[in-house]
Structures are given as C-alpha cells and as structure tokens.
C-alpha cells in the first residue's frame, strides 16, 4: 500500500532538501524555513491563497528565513572548526552579488548576516555601485574582483576615501600598475588583494575555473613582480589579502583540501617576506547537493558544510604552524550555498501531450490483417505472455508503417493501428512494473509512453542553467503524493522552442529521463522546481519575450503561522517590449489606428472595437 514515506523516498526530498523541504501527511509539499517542526508552511495552502487573490502563476516563492539559516549554518560550521582545531583567528562570509543580484535578496542577506559581519563581493562597476548602497557592519568588507578599468578603480578608491572597507583584488598582472598609479595620483591607500593562480583545480562543471589555464590569477613570477611594483609605490602595507578560487560547485572535498594547502604555502611565504597579509580568501566553490546522492557527481557534493569548514581550517592551520606564521582571517565567497535553497518556483500545469490513445477501436471486418493482429493482441495480452506479445506488436507496427508508405492503407487504418499499438504498450508497461521487470527495453518503453506536461513558464527565464549547462534541479509535485503516481512525464514550457523541455531529473543513483507524476483531472496541478536561488534570477533571459514572474516572499512566525512578507510583481508585456526598445505608446497608437480603420470600413461594430481595444490594453 502506497504511503507518504514512499513519496518522500521516490522524490528523494529529504536527501537533497537539507531539512527545509518534505511532505506532510496530506501529501502536500511543506517548507520549514527554520528547520523547526513547529514552523512549517504548507505550500499548497499558500498557492491556493494567492490564486484566490488572482495572483497569476507561475509564482517564485522566496523564503528569507532560509537565507538566514544558511548564513547561520556556514558561520556556525567555521566557528566550530576554529574552536575544535584551536585556530587563532576568525571567519567572515562574503556574498558574491553575481550569484543573486536581486535587491530584495541582497537586503535579506545583509540584514541576516550583519551580526556575522557578512560582506559583499563584486565583479563589475554596476555590482560595486549596488554593493555601496547597502549598510554593512563596520567590520564587513566589499571585495572587488574582475577586470578593472580606470572607472571601476576610481569608484573603488572613492569608496575607500569615504570610509568603506573595500579590498581591490589584483586579478591580472597588468592591473597592478593601473591600481597603484591611480591610487598614488588620487592620494588614496586602498586595501589590496592579490589573486593567486594555483596548480590545484576544482571538480565538476567548473573545474576549468582553476588550474594553470584559469582566466584569472597571477603566477608565482607575476605575484613576485606585482609585490615589487606595490613596494616601489610605498604601498606594501596595503597588501592585506591573498585570494584564490578553483571553481564553483566543487564536488570533491579533497580538491578543496589540496587547494587550501597550496594557497596556505603561498600565504606563509609572502607573510615571511614581512608583508602584513591579513585575509586568506578561499573564494567560492562550497557545493550544493542538488540530487541528494552525497557523491562527487556534477549535481552533488561528497561533503557537508561542516566537513568543508573542517578541511579548510585544519589544512590552513597545519601549514601556518609548520611555517611558524600567524593564522589569517578566513574569508569565503560561498554564494551558491547561501542562496540556492531559498527559492521555489510553483508551476501550474496547463495540460499534457502524447497521451491520447484511449479511443475505442472498432473493426469493420475489411481491415488489413496487420490491424486485425494488433486488435487480437490487445485483447489477449496478459501478465504471462506480455513480453512475447510486445515483440509481436512491434513487428506489426513496423509492417503497418511499411504498408502506409507503399500506399496500401489509408490514414484511418494507420490511426487504428497506432492506437492499438500504444494501448498494447501501455498494458505491457503496467505488467512490467507489476513483475518488477527492469530490463532496458521496458525502461525505454516508459520513456516512449511518457507524457509531456505543459507548464506555464519559460525554462529560459526561470531555469536557464538547465538549458545552458544541463544543471539538475529537483522537481516534485506540490500536492497529491498521498496517491501513487501512475504516469511518467517530462516538463515542457510554453515557449516556442523545442529546447524548452526538462527531461532530466534528480535521482539517487542516476539521472532520470522521466519523472513519476499523476494523471491530470479537472483540478489544479502544480509542480515545484526547487533549489533555484543561485544564478537563475539574473542569468534568465527574455527568449520569446517572457519576462520575470510574480514573486511572493513568505515567512513563518514563532507561532507557526505563515505570512506574506512581500509581493513583487513580475514583468508586464509592456515592460518586456520596452527592454527590447519598442515604444509602447507607438505600438498602441498603431493598433488603435488599425481598429479605427476597420471600424470605418464596417468590418467591426463600435462595440467590437471597444472590446478589441480593451483586450489589447489588458494584455499590454
């Protein structure tokens, strides 16, 4: 008998949900933003509430308390490791703005992280301008990475002049002289960082971000030459940070350990040159276990946050103690781990395709023998003969296609044969499940029988990393899992693009090509895409002119009651058209002229003209 526990196991929700997500005994998806059993949000109830208020779906749910929880967990992990290994300094987190540039998200991160002195990392002028607008704590830092022209450097130096704790990181050797010359000209002494190009590399999709061929960082020779230039301008005391980054979403903890040890040697050698390096910035890379497998697969990480912190602190301390140098302040730029969990996209399913084989077939007696054979097979197939009859049906289907291509049968005959074949296949798949037959041919059959569930969303806007780099995201039903799913399906969006399909799903041992779902009826059916809070918001594009979706920010109080903290309207059609340089007034004026012309020519009535213009205005 099917139980809720079976659904939890099937979708793996408690493996990848990190304590934030599960199902309740009603079969509804629940969110626990604080991981407390007394503070639980039934997502189905929130969706019904928004639907009653005529909020259009899809809706992106944000849970600010999850951001707070992740910041707390990362800081707690490092605090625990520092205590356990008697490390003689502290840890500070820095959030890279590129991971999620939305103002509402950054506000919550800055507010939640203030007591931990959380800082911000930027890689462009625009991101720096955004970072300067936030009220950080006195001990927080703003780290400036990326290529820097004179404008970028001037903003960073001006921020230093007005008292902001800005660290300008030299990512490329040529940037050294630009920075020190401009600093000297403006009479500003910024805090300087230097990015080391390590031999160590990360693992996973972004392994190429590290190593000898990485885009950013200075070689050993370049670092020494850079230090000489800084010294020539009497700014050596301003060189206070060593930075490195071996890639995002590092899947293997041993790669992290190796990189920290290599960078720690660099730090120690620079420190012994009597240079006051204060910060040891390990960059990003802290992985998120998207598929719940806790392995080194590209969608996972074979370590926990606490194991990550332990490896960093222990490895760094070991080298510092061997070299007899002081322990630096540890900084990490763990943006993905902070923000991934806080966003959930609720997608309303509009219908399904590929499942229209329930029509009853009646034979008239004059059909080709192939169709008659398929008809008899469909009647006589059972759990004992289904394998043999399935192979027979395939032969009959191939013969049917040949007859049609030779012009021997009509469309009506071909239709009858196809319906019968797929009805046989559906019975075969059911018998295979019942007998637990997991052979490849029946796995392939399930894929052929799967339906395409049509979701009211754009993959390119809401989950661009799936389309761009095959990033896996957990996708589960919002409700109904108290019933056993009887269908297999993929998820297609409503863009006019064949790439707009999600056909890879998380699984413990493999990547699933179809997802277990429920048969659609007249009631609403929603799917949730989870762990999409990192990178998706601003990488999302406007393909087919689909704009951002409506947002609801949800919190839960001490009494376990949920509240809508904020509603953020998505883009209207007029907004999106404006982004691609259309003048909305001109568009409307032209359409009104066309309507007026049609009215003059008496092709429409006055009432129809008013109705057309009102509809146009509403859609715009």
pLDDT digits (tens, 9 = 90+) for 125-171: 999 999 999 999 999 999 999 999 999 999 999 999 999 999 999 99
Residues 320 and 378 in one domain: no
Q: Is residue 32 part of a domain?
A: no
pLDDT confidence band for 213 (50 / 70 / 90): low
Query: How many CB atoms within 10 Å of residue 601?
Result: 8
Q: Is there a contact between 93 and 119 (Cβ–Cβ < 8 Å)?
A: yes
Give how many domains the chain has, as a whole number. 3
Most confident of 189-198, 354-363, 389-398: 189-198
Last residue of a domain, one of 407, 428, 447: 447
Residue 173's domain spans which residues? 85-198+216-290+305-338
Residues 253 and 128 in one domain: yes
Q: Is residue 438 part of a domain?
A: yes
Residues 93 and 225 in one domain: yes
Q: Is residue 480 part of a domain?
A: no
Q: What is the pLDDT of residue 98?
A: 96
CATH number at residue 165: 3.20.20.10
Rounded average pLDDT over 541-550: 90
Last residue of a domain, one of 430, 447, 464: 447
Residues 130 and 221 in one domain: yes
Eight-class DSSP state of 33: T
Q: Is there a contact between 302 and 294 (Cβ–Cβ < 8 Å)?
A: yes
pLDDT confidence band for 356 (50 / 70 / 90): low
pLDDT confidence band for 209 (50 / 70 / 90): low
Average pLDDT, the chain: 92
Q: Is residue 389 part of a domain?
A: yes
Q: What is the pLDDT of residue 214?
A: 64
Q: Facing residues of 489 across strands?
A: 451, 515
pLDDT tens-digit series, residues 265-312: 999 999 999 999 999 999 999 999 999 999 988 888 999 999 999 999
Q: What is the pLDDT of residue 426?
A: 87
Last residue of a domain, one of 447, 463, 493: 447
Task: Give Cβ neighbours of residue 246 (< 8 Å, ≥ 6 apart).
Answer: 198, 200, 201, 202, 209, 210, 211, 255, 256, 259, 283, 285
pLDDT confidence band for 208 (50 / 70 / 90): low
Residues 245 and 98 in one domain: yes
| pLDDT exceeds 70 at position 448 | yes
Half-sphere exposure of 290 (CA within 13 A, CB side): 33
Q: What is the pLDDT of residue 205?
A: 61
| pLDDT exceeds 80 at position 514 | yes
Q: What is the pLDDT of residue 191?
A: 97
Q: Is residue 433 part of a domain?
A: yes
| pLDDT exceeds 70 at position 376 | yes
pLDDT tens-digit series, residues 423-439: 888 888 889 888 888 88
pLDDT confidence band for 440 (50 / 70 / 90): confident
Residues 159 and 94 in one domain: yes
Q: What is the pLDDT of residue 207?
A: 55
pLDDT confidence band for 28 (50 / 70 / 90): very high
Eight-class DSSP state of 234: T
Residue indicated by tokens 């006051």: 276
Listed in order, strand segments (DSSP E) in 294-450 are 329-332, 343-353
Q: What is the pLDDT of residue 102?
A: 95
Residues 91 and 143 in one domain: yes
Three-state SS string over 258-321 comes to HHHHHHHHHHHHHHCCCCCCCEEECCCCCCCCCCCCCCCCCCCCCCCHHHHHHHHHHHHHHHHH
Q: Is residue 23 part of a domain?
A: no
The span from the CA of 231 to the CA of 183, in Å, is: 13
pLDDT confidence band for 212 (50 / 70 / 90): low
Enclosing H/E stretch for 229: helix 220-232
Rounded average pLDDT over 32-48: 96
List the single range of 153-157, 207-211, 234-238, 260-264 with lowest mean pLDDT.
Answer: 207-211
**Strand 279-281 and strand 239-243: pairing?**
parallel
Residues 285 and 405 in one domain: no
Residues 174 and 286 in one domain: yes
Query: How many CB atoms within 10 Å of residue 564?
Result: 15
Q: Is residue 402 part of a domain?
A: yes
Q: What is the pTM of this model?
A: 0.91
Percentage helix, strand, coil, to 5, in the chain?
A: 45, 15, 40
Task: Give Cβ neighbours of residue 358 (< 8 Å, ≥ 6 apart).
Answer: 423
Q: Is residue 250 part of a domain?
A: yes
Residues 142 and 262 in one domain: yes
Q: What is the pLDDT of residue 318?
A: 97
* Percent of the chain with pLDDT strictly greater than 90: 74
pLDDT tens-digit series, residues 307-344: 999 999 999 999 999 999 999 999 999 999 999 999 99
For residue 404, give both structure tokens.
């049609």
Residues 138 and 272 in one domain: yes
Rounded average pLDDT over 181-192: 95
* Percent of the chain with pLDDT strictly greater than 70: 97
Q: Is there a contact between 348 and 479 (Cβ–Cβ < 8 Å)?
A: no
For residue 345, give both structure tokens.
């996209």
Q: Is there a contact between 271 and 233 (Cβ–Cβ < 8 Å)?
A: no
CATH number at residue 389: 1.20.58.930
The span from the CA of 266 to the CA of 275, in Å, is: 12
Residues 317 and 376 in one domain: no
């Amino acid at each position: 008998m099917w139980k809720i526990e079976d659904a939890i196991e099937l979708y793996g929700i408690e493996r990848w949900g990190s304590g934030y997500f599960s199902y309740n005994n009603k079969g509804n998806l629940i969110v626990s933003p604080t991981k407390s059993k007394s503070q639980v949000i039934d997502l189905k109830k929130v969706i019904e509430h928004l639907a009653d208020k005529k909020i259009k779906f899809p809706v992106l749910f944000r849970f600010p308390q999850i951001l707070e929880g992740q910041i707390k967990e990362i800081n707690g992990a490092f605090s625990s490791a520092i205590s356990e290994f008697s490390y003689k300094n502290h840890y500070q987190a820095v959030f890279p703005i590129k991971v999620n540039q939305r103002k509402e998200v950054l506000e919550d991160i800055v507010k939640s992280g203030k007591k931990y002195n959380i800082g911000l990392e930027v890689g462009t002028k625009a991101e720096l301008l955004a970072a300067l607008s936030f009220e950080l704590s006195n001990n927080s830092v703003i780290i400036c990475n990326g290529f820097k022209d004179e404008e970028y450097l001037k903003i960073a130096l001006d921020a230093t002049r007005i008292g902001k704790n800005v660290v300008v990181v030299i990512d490329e050797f040529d940037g050294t002289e630009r920075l020190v010359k401009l600093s000297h000209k403006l009479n500003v002494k910024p805090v300087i960082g230097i990015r080391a190009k390590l031999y160590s590399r990360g693992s996973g999709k972004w392994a190429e971000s590290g190593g000898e061929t990485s885009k950013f960082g200075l070689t050993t020779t370049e670092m020494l030459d850079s230090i000489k230039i800084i010294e020539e301008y009497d700014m050596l005391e301003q060189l206070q940070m060593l930075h490195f980054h071996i890639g995002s979403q590092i899947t293997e903890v041993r790669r992290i350990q190796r990189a920290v040890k290599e960078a720690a040697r660099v730090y120690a050698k620079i420190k012994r040159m009597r240079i006051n390096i204060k910060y040891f910035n390990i960059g990003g890379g802290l992985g998120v276990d998207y598929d719940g497998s806790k392995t080194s697969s590209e969608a996972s990480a074979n370590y926990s946050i606490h194991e990550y912190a332990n490896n960093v602190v222990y490895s760094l301390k070991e080298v510092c103690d061997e070299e007899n140098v002081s322990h630096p302040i540890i900084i990490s730029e763990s943006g993905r781990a902070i923000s991934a969990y806080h966003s959930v996209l609720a997608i309303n399913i509009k219908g399904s395709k590929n499942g229209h084989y329930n029509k009853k077939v009646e034979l008239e007696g004059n059909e080709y023998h192939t169709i008659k054979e398929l008809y008899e097979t469909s009647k006589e197939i059972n759990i004992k003969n289904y394998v043999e009859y399935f192979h027979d049906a395939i032969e009959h289907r191939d013969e049917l296609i040949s007859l049609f291509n030779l012009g021997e049968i009509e469309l009506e005959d071909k239709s009858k044969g196809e319906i019968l074949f797929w009805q046989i296949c559906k019975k075969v798949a059911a018998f295979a499940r019942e007998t637990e037959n997991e052979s490849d041919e029946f796995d392939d059959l399930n894929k052929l029988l799967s339906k395409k569930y049509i979701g009211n969303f754009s993959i390119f806007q809401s989950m661009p990393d799936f389309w761009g780099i095959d990033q896996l995201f957990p996708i589960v039903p919002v409700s109904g899992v108290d019933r056993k799913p009887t269908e297999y399906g993929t998820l297609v969006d409503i863009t006019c693009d064949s790439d707009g399909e999600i056909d890879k799903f998380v699984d413990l041992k493999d990547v699933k090509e179809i997802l277990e779902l429920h048969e659609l009826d007249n009631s609403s059916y929603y799917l949730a895409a989870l762990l999409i809070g990192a990178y998706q918001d601003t990488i999302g594009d406007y393909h087919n002119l689909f704009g951002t979706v409506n947002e609801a920010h949800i919190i839960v109080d001490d009494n376990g009651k949920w509240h809508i903290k904020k509603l953020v309207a998505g883009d209207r059609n007029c907004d999106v058209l404006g982004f691609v340089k259309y003048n909305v007034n001109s568009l409307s004026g032209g359409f009104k002229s066309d309507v007026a012309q049609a009215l003059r020519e008496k092709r429409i009535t006055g009432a129809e003209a008013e109705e057309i213009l009102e509809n146009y205005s509403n859609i715009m």
